[in-house]
Structure 1
């Protein structure tokens, strides 16, 4: 008997997706160990101190010490990710652009979905790094992905496509894996970190989860991403948090008539 894909109660919980989904995750690095960073932002200073295994932080009204994972995106550009062991409803992503003296903090707050609200809320805070020279364009929200259709491969068994529709929405479809045949349109937010390198975040409405990724789109045939997923387990009682990576390629770009362009 075939599965009714329209019945969302059949959809896998986040902890059902995790086994093997992280096969294409990049190796972690310890380049940040022994360094302390202060980020100056409109919401006040944020501090992050890294050792070989843990980060101690104070940012956006939250603080603590947690194990972290760090990935290098490209030269002097890092993505660090951790889940607070004390505030279990908080996961943190930190983008550090040491070459350009800029940073992006994203606090993922896990709650309960309601009418007009997803379970995960993302708190975005951009800033400059104290002691570094701020260079290049400031990190800011960007419409540059709109119109692109990208195929993402997370493992030998997991593949999806993304269609970036507007500053608010994107559509995903599972091409391979336990969610094959499922598709939906969910809310997203995109920031450009450097030319061609984007932070892409999404918040799902069916499965109570959200994601933060950073991807280098400069080579359309060999896009590379690093990311994390954060949400509730099947019972809805315990947070699930894990990191992953993907290899992508640009399938197509949609060009709208100027007067109908959703990016404007």
Structure 2
């Protein structure tokens, strides 16, 4: 039986640049509260980076020790950044690498514990994106071609065995949460396990679409979490801080502008949230 036009539209996945062009409205404004500060962050990867927050949303970073994940990686840069403060003492700093336009850095600066968590995400090449999912299964790879590396760091001191970190958590598992990104855009998340969640668009350009994707959760403070997800159908990395006390989120969605892999878009997002229900599991696996 031939599908009608409405059915075809509902089943069409959209490039990130397409659906975020008129997306949201509940995102937080940029804050200049870090302007004038310099932070030396010593990461558990063995390298140290100095971040200088300058006027006009400029961020200067310089590698002080170590060589990063890539021996050929740049050792310094001057970036345009965005920072938000969802809860006092916690800042989410985000920027696209000027050296690698397909790469973003998201830095959770925790001034309460004097620690940080960094999420480095890289968009795949065209060839990586077009690799069949079944071949990824055979090669024992993640189904998503998006790559993300997470590192923990200490502010203005050496990272050691006693340094606290934002720990992986299973606190969200079983929750079903509605996120209202704006008047026209709403999604729900169902947190299934420590590595998988389901998203379902209930209002907006992707209404009718849903999928289950790879994710990670980290506990930042009481009722306060860092959530990172990687989508497999359309190469996408999403990252938000979730505050269940204020019932708000703040973060970003990063992906390609369109299907020719020629440009990326890094879009601020934020939502008002409401918990729909909570499922209790006898056992939660990985």
Fold agreement, TM-score > 0.5: yes
> In the aligned structure 1, how far is the partner of 2:213 from the partner of 2:62?
30
Structure 1 residues 58 and 196: CA distance shift in structure 2, 3 A: farther
The aligned residue for residue 141 of structure 1 is 168
The aligned residue for residue 130 of structure 1 is 156
Structure 2 unaligned spans of 5+ = none
The aligned residue for residue 238 of structure 1 is 263
The aligned residue for residue 79 of structure 1 is 92
Q: Does 1:194 align with 2:216?
A: no
> In the aligned structure 1, how far is the partner of 2:23 from the partner of 2:62?
31
- Which of 42, 50, 65 does residue 47 from structure 1 map onto? 50
> How far is the alpha carbon of 1:136 from its aligned partner?
9.4
1:68-122 deviation digits (Å, cap 9, x = unpaired): 1110121111111111233111111011111211100111111133423423211
The aligned residue for residue 95 of structure 1 is 108
The aligned residue for residue 203 of structure 1 is 230
Q: More displaced, 144-153 or 83-92?
A: 83-92
Q: Secondary structure at the match of 2:275?
A: strand
Q: Pairwise mapping of residues 1-264 of structure 1 onto structure 2 (< 5 A)? A: 1-4=5-8, 7=11, 10-43=12-45, 44-52=47-55, 53-58=57-62, 60-61=68-69, 62=74, 63-111=76-124, 112-113=128-129, 114=131, 115=136, 116-117=141-142, 118-130=144-156, 137-217=164-244, 219=245, 222-235=246-259, 236-257=261-282, 261-262=283-284
Instruction: Judge conservation of contact 2:84–2:92 (CA < 8 Å) in 1.
Output: yes
> In the aligned structure 2, how far is the partner of 1:109 from the partner of 1:30?
27
RMSD: 2.2
Normalization by structure 1: what TM-score? 0.90
The number of residue pairs the alignment matches comes to: 256
> In the aligned structure 1, how far is the partner of 2:10 from the partner of 2:84?
37
> How far is the alpha carbon of 1:239 from its aligned partner?
1.4
Q: Secondary structure at the match of 2:182?
A: coil
1:204-232 deviation digits (Å, cap 9, x = unpaired): 11111111111112x2xx52111111111
Q: More displaced, 236-245 or 73-82?
A: 236-245
Normalization by structure 2: what TM-score? 0.83
1:1-38 deviation digits (Å, cap 9, x = unpaired): 3223685xx21111111123231111111011111111
> In the aligned structure 1, how far is the partner of 2:285 from the partner of 2:180?
26
> In the aligned structure 2, how far is the partner of 1:33 from the partner of 1:143?
35
> How far is the alpha carbon of 1:242 from its aligned partner?
1.3
